[in-house]
Amino acid sequence: MIVGLGPGATGQVTPEAAAAVAEAELLFGYKPYLDRLTLGPGQRRQPSDNREELSRAEAALAAAAAGRRACLVSGGDPGVFAMAAAVCEAVERGPDAWRALDIAVLPGVTAMLAVAARVGAPLGHDFCAISLSDNLKPWPLVERRLTAAAGAGFVIALYNPISRARPWQLGRAFERLAAVLPASTPVVFGRAAGRLDERIAIRRLAEADPALADMATCIIVGSPHTRLVDRPDGQPLVYTPRFAAAGADNAAAGGEASA
């Protein structure tokens, strides 16, 4: 089983995922994710570091091939910048016995959905997700994808926005986006959405400060059509309309985002 634990709140773990965890004998994963789990008798954690995805996948597959009830956990959804792809890679490269295993991927609530739900409906029209990590791809490719997505009018969810090893990349990303998008484009910083230490901030692109983010933050950058709706409680609704006229992206990119 490859299981998504959601963004962190207990209520956002699906019943299917919770049942898979409860039935597992060995639970593999990044230590902070495994620490979220309450284990029963006979269950054991097999923690590993954040950059050990492939070896973690191989260990879980080897345990399953040996007849153990193995469960590999991810935060969010296991298919979104997470462990399902690492398992597929390991199976492709590994022994034939791994291809015969019964492998199930159980979805979870990914971070961009949890963040979007906190502010309204910024993903209400076409959107994409881009990881800013260059551990597995070159940074120039990240920049080209940012430019292409912004120019095509997609709302963009940014995963892995910043870390101690990559303190400069989010600022560069904002610069690249600002060259294409209006300065007033809404940007949502969502840290630990749904958890006790949740922090949500809404800024315009011209005022988007990388210091508002850390590795636990998912950022949603609006399209030229994304709107802010002021409300008495102080936090506006952020939403992207469900409709778009032909040629609207080219027109909007030269103007201002609506408020």
The last residue of a domain, from among 81, 106, 131:
106
What percent of the chain lies above the pLDDT cut of 70?
A: 95
What percent of the chain lies above the pLDDT cut of 90?
A: 85
- In contact, 184 and 226? CB cutoff 8 Å: no
- Tens digit of each residue's pLDDT (9 = 90 or more) over 145-194: 999 999 999 999 999 999 888 999 999 999 999 999 999 999 999 998 98
Whether 242 is covered by a domain: the verdict is: yes
- Note whether 141 and 246 are same-domain residues: yes
- Note whether 230 and 152 are same-domain residues: yes
Q: State the Cα–Cα distance between residues 227 and 258, nearest whole angstrom.
A: 5
Q: State the Cα–Cα distance between residues 185 and 208, nearest whole angstrom.
A: 10
Whether 128 is covered by a domain: the verdict is: yes
DSSP, collapsed to helix, strand or coil, labels residue 163 as strand
- Note whether 118 and 81 are same-domain residues: no
pLDDT at residue 250, rounded to an integer:
58
Whether 198 is covered by a domain: the verdict is: yes
- Note whether 35 and 95 are same-domain residues: yes
- Note whether 91 and 175 are same-domain residues: no
Q: State the Cα–Cα distance between residues 85 and 71, nearest whole angstrom.
A: 15
Taking 90 as the threshold, does the pLDDT of residue 253 lie above it?
Answer: no
Q: What burial letters (b/e) apply to 163-187, b meaning 16+ CB within 10 Å?
A: beebeebbebbbebbeebbbebbbb
Q: State the Cα–Cα distance between residues 149 and 165, nearest whole angstrom.
A: 25
Instruction: Kindly indicate the confidence band of residue 50, based on its pLDDT and cuts at 50, 70 and 90.
Output: confident
Whether 258 is covered by a domain: the verdict is: no
- Tokens at residue 56, please? 């973690």
The last residue of a domain, from among 106, 137, 153:
106
- Taking CA atoms, 96 is separated from 62, 99, 100, in Å, by 12, 5, 7
Look up the pTM and report it.
Answer: 0.92
Identify the CA nearest to 144 among candidates 106, 164, 185, 172: 172
Identify the CA nearest to 136 among candidates 62, 81, 77: 81
- Note whether 98 and 160 are same-domain residues: no
- Note whether 127 and 90 are same-domain residues: no
Whether 39 is covered by a domain: the verdict is: yes
DSSP secondary structure letter of residue 103: -
Kindly report the average pLDDT of the chain as a whole number: 93
Instruction: Kindly indicate the confidence band of residue 16, based on its pLDDT and cuts at 50, 70 and 90.
Output: very high
Q: Specify the CATH number for the domain of residue 29.
A: 3.40.1010.10
- Note whether 125 and 245 are same-domain residues: yes
Q: Which domain holds residue 156?
A: 111-252
- Tokens at residue 227, please? 């709107």
Paired residues of 2 in beta bridges = 72, 105
- Tens digit of each residue's pLDDT (9 = 90 or more) over 87-96: 999 999 999 9
In the numeric block, the tokens 């309450």 are attached to 38
Helical residues (DSSP H) of 166-236, grouped into ranges:
169-178
- Tokens at residue 258, please? 């609506």
DSSP, collapsed to helix, strand or coil, labels residue 97 as helix
Instruction: Note every long-range contact of 18-22, with CB atoms under 8 Å and residues 24 or more positions apart, other chains counting.
Output: 20/71, 20/104, 20/106, 21/71, 21/73
Q: Specify the CATH number for the domain of residue 248.
A: 3.30.950.10
- Note whether 9 and 102 are same-domain residues: yes
- Note whether 100 and 204 are same-domain residues: no
Whether 259 is covered by a domain: the verdict is: no
- Note whether 148 and 210 are same-domain residues: yes
Whether 44 is covered by a domain: the verdict is: yes
Whether 121 is covered by a domain: the verdict is: yes
The last residue of a domain, from among 67, 89, 106:
106
Taking 50 as the threshold, does the pLDDT of residue 85 lie above it?
Answer: yes
- Taking CA atoms, 14 is separated from 32, 108, 193, in Å, by 19, 7, 16
- Note whether 76 and 155 are same-domain residues: no
Number of domains in the chain: 2
- Determine whether 72 is exposed, middle or buried from the number of CB atoms within 10 Å of its CB (0-12, 13-18, 19+): buried
